A and B are shown apart, each in its own frame.
Chain A
Amino acid sequence: MRILVVEDEPAIGSYIQDCFVERGYSVDWVTTCEQALETAVVEDYDSIILDRRLPDKDGLFVCSELRSQGITVPILVLTALSGIDQRVEGLNVGADDYLLKPFAMDELVARVQALIRRSSYRNQPNLTIRNISLNSLNRNVTVNGEQIPLSNREFLLLEYLMRHADQALTRSQILEHVWETQRDSDTNIVDVYINYLRKKIDVPQKTSNIETVRGFGYRFRYED
């Protein structure tokens, strides 16, 4: 896995680099928009971590420039500007996620991993298991051809379960992939969201697509 870090603050940049290298990534680190564009066009990265306030330009410039050249690498924007308005602005120019400074390194790692994983879904956005169809690009979910409105987390959870159908997934795996957190707190949020999904997908059809694996976690049933 190769990632590009665009960050002008040495303390932050070097730390991000170290953390990802530790986890087995190969990391390139540049400090300006110009360098970022030069390398990102030539090299094939799995993800880019992009700071917004760079010495030469707004980081979002890199983002819009890459997108206009048809480069679809997942981009996570780091911003010290407060979150309101920034999110919309960032997503409008084609960023995939954003993270506010100051951030915890665990969260950054989890987010980047989620981005890389989800970008692999882009090659095969459509997935159908029995009566349930899911599209990772436009986030549509249909059950028996009928569209089901899902919240963002509900969709991510269903996507994760369906992409790993027939695998038993632990709660902490789910927490890490859907909520991008490695926090091992005693939360029941996974069970709550499984419940939402069951109410929307299984209960009306009297099916049981989402199974509980007692003492372990959950599994999306693959075979009839």
Chain B
Amino acid sequence: MKTELSLQRRITLWSTLVVSLIFIVFIVLVILALDNQLKWDLDHRIDEEANAVELSIFHTDSGISIDESIEWREPHHQDMDDESMVLMILNENLHLIRRSPNFPFSPELIQSFVFDPTDSNYYTRSFMDLEMRFLVKPIPFANQTLVWIIVGKSFNSIHQILKEVFTIFLFSFPVALIMVYWGSLFLARKSLRPVRAISEKARQFKSSNLSQRLPVPRTDDDIAHLAITLNELLDRLETTVVSLRNIAANASHEIKTPVTILYTYLDRWAQTHPDMDTHEILSFRSELNRITKIIDNLSQIAKTDSGAAKLQFDTVWMNDLLYEEIERFRPQALMKDITIQVKPLPSVAIEGDESWLHLALGNLIENALKYSPEHSSISLKMESTDAHTLMVTISDEGHGVPEQDLELLTARYFRSKQSRPGTGLGLAIAHWVVQQHHGKLRFANNPTGGLTVQVCLPEQYNPGT
């Protein structure tokens, strides 16, 4: 499935995810290490306590005596809280000699210890509903007598610290997460900004302004490299397009000169052979005209594509223009016995480029002629609509165009299936010209058969003002 997320968002999410995973692992490690350290501290404190208690035990001839003056009076031996320590001294028969008030004697607890006369041992036991750590330490005296010191302390203080640390982490995690998200969003945006600039620029590119280049970021990174590579590609493209453009312009001239020569030979020949069928001479001429027309169309479309075409807006009398085009095609219409019915045109001027409008409307009339059957008629009218728009309508009695093809008519090189040979460029050029005048070109099939072309041109559109 194609992901809908932008690169920037994906980078942000990935880096947030990775950073939060690292954060979690870090927290776990910190807590484990802290736990370990605190437990070690606890053992150390119990041991120190045991050493302190050891100093209060004296072996006299009458037996063991305990100095209770200092150590045993300390408050943390009196009652039970997180910081309290329990103390107990047993004789070698494990009978109680002395215990702190907060350490109730429990035979089960005593029995759960292993009394090793050679070494001190630590035990973790549950006692009085508390998780506690005990140290059992043997104290040997001179005459083989032995007492045992038992010191205990609950884990509660450790748990308390760990809980606090964990709480701090728990609250700082979402804050850190948000900061990481915005931070990486910022970084992603910053590092992708040149990419965005490149794509914005590239979007403005047309074959008409190939001289433009992509912005190259000042950093010497992958994006700069990409921009440089694309610019090199554009250099090569520009060279190719420019040379193609020149070829199109030259070809137009190179071909028209021999066509003109053919024309003059034809004229001469017709003069010296007055018995010759004029119909054949006319067809000969119209074929030569068609060659010229195709060449013209090709070079014009090359111009529109390359942006070399510049429209010169001026006053254009549309009645002059249409009648000139009609007269131009009249011989061609006569050959197929097609009547061009013109509803009297109003004498109207618009703002436009006369040459290009000639080309566009000529192409439309020619197209109507091309698809008209013999002995049919083409009707042409022009009217001003109230919205300051001039509408030219040309309709023929041909086969029309399949509905699904209507929209394709203005596409480059498109030719309907029943079409006769042509370049498929005429309507594309007409469409381009009408667009340049901010007009509309519409095609529709007549209910009685045939195609109707409607050209709407604004009367006052002038890009120069």
Binding site for B on A (CB under 8 A): 9, 11-12, 15-16, 18, 53, 80-85, 87-88, 101-105, 149, 151-154, 179, 181, 183, 185, 187, 189, 192-193, 195-196, 199-200
Task: Give 4 A-B pairs besides A104-B263, A192-B323, A192-B342 with Cβ atoms closer than 8 angstroms.
Answer: A15-B264, A80-B256, A101-B257, A181-B327
**B347-A154 in contact (CB<8A):** yes
A-B contact pairs, 20 of them (CB 8 A): A9-B260, A12-B261, A80-B260, A81-B252, A82-B299, A83-B296, A85-B309, A87-B354, A88-B355, A103-B260, A104-B285, A149-B349, A151-B319, A151-B347, A151-B349, A153-B324, A183-B331, A187-B330, A196-B319, A200-B347
- Closest A residue by C-beta to B299: A82
Contacts of A11 in B (CB 8 A): 261, 264-265
Binding site for A on B (CB under 8 A): 249, 252-253, 256-257, 259-265, 267-268, 285, 288-289, 292, 295-296, 299-300, 303, 309-310, 312, 317, 319-320, 323-324, 326-327, 330-331, 334, 342, 344-345, 347, 349, 354-356, 358-359
Which 4 A-B residue pairs are closest in the complex by CB-CB distance? A151-B317, A80-B256, A102-B260, A15-B264
State A102–B265 Cα separation when bound (angstroms): 12
State A183–B333 Cα separation when bound (angstroms): 14
Counting chain B CB atoms within 10 Å of each CB, the highest count among A9, A53, A80, A183 belongs to A80
**A87-B355 in contact (CB<8A):** yes
**A101-B259 in contact (CB<8A):** yes
Contacts of B303 in A (CB 8 A): 84
**B264-A105 in contact (CB<8A):** yes
Cβ distance B358 to chain A, nearest Cβ, rounded Å: 8
**A82-B288 in contact (CB<8A):** no
State A200–B327 Cα separation when bound (angstroms): 23
**A152-B253 in contact (CB<8A):** no
- Closest A residue by C-beta to B433: A84
**B261-A9 in contact (CB<8A):** yes
Cβ distance A129 to chain B, nearest Cβ, rounded Å: 22
**B317-A152 in contact (CB<8A):** yes
- Closest A residue by C-beta to B308: A85
Contacts of B354 in A (CB 8 A): 87
Contacts of A185 in B (CB 8 A): 327, 330-331, 334
- A-B CB contacts (within 8 Å), total count: 105
Chief secondary structure at chain B's binding surface: helix
Given A102-B259, A153-B323, A187-B327, A82:B264 Cβ within 8 A: no
Cβ distance B225 to chain A, nearest Cβ, rounded Å: 42
Counting chain A CB atoms within 10 Å of each CB, the highest count among B264, B300, B317 belongs to B264
**B268-A81 in contact (CB<8A):** no
Contacts of B261 in A (CB 8 A): 9, 11-12
Contacts of A103 in B (CB 8 A): 260, 263
Contacts of B309 in A (CB 8 A): 84-85
State A15–B256 Cα separation when bound (angstroms): 16
Question: B256: which of A102, A189, A192 is its contact (CB, 8 Å)?
Answer: A102
State A16–B267 Cα separation when bound (angstroms): 11
State A206–B326 Cα separation when bound (angstroms): 32
Contacts of A53 in B (CB 8 A): 253
**B267-A80 in contact (CB<8A):** no
Counting chain B CB atoms within 10 Å of each CB, the highest count among A102, A104, A193, A196 belongs to A102
Counting chain B CB atoms within 10 Å of each CB, the highest count among A11, A179, A192 belongs to A11
Cβ distance A79 to chain B, nearest Cβ, rounded Å: 9
- Closest A residue by C-beta to B264: A15
Question: B320: which of A16, A101, A153, A199 is its contact (CB, 8 Å)?
Answer: A153
Contacts of B296 in A (CB 8 A): 82-83
Cβ distance A184 to chain B, nearest Cβ, rounded Å: 11
Cβ distance B461 to chain A, nearest Cβ, rounded Å: 19
- Closest B residue by C-beta to A185: B330
State A183–B289 Cα separation when bound (angstroms): 17
**A82-B320 in contact (CB<8A):** no
State A64–B296 Cα separation when bound (angstroms): 27
Contacts of A82 in B (CB 8 A): 252, 295-296, 299-300
- Closest B residue by C-beta to A19: B267
State A118–B252 Cα separation when bound (angstroms): 32
Contacts of A87 in B (CB 8 A): 354-355
Contacts of A153 in B (CB 8 A): 317, 319-320, 323-324
- Closest A residue by C-beta to B249: A81
Contacts of A154 in B (CB 8 A): 317, 320, 347
Contacts of B256 in A (CB 8 A): 80, 101-102
- Closest B residue by C-beta to A52: B253
State A96–B290 Cα separation when bound (angstroms): 27
**A80-B327 in contact (CB<8A):** no
**B327-A195 in contact (CB<8A):** no
State A116–B447 Cα separation when bound (angstroms): 51
Cβ distance A83 to chain B, nearest Cβ, rounded Å: 6
**B288-A102 in contact (CB<8A):** yes
Given A80-B253, A154-B347, A185-B330, A102:B323 Cβ within 8 A: no
Contacts of A81 in B (CB 8 A): 249, 252-253
Contacts of B319 in A (CB 8 A): 151, 153, 196
**A84-B356 in contact (CB<8A):** yes
Contacts of B289 in A (CB 8 A): 102
State A196–B331 Cα separation when bound (angstroms): 25
State A36–B342 Cα separation when bound (angstroms): 45
Cβ distance A51 to chain B, nearest Cβ, rounded Å: 9
State A200–B319 Cα separation when bound (angstroms): 14
Contacts of A80 in B (CB 8 A): 252-253, 256-257, 260
State A88–B312 Cα separation when bound (angstroms): 8
Cβ distance A20 to chain B, nearest Cβ, rounded Å: 13
Contacts of A101 in B (CB 8 A): 256-257, 259-260
State A85–B355 Cα separation when bound (angstroms): 8
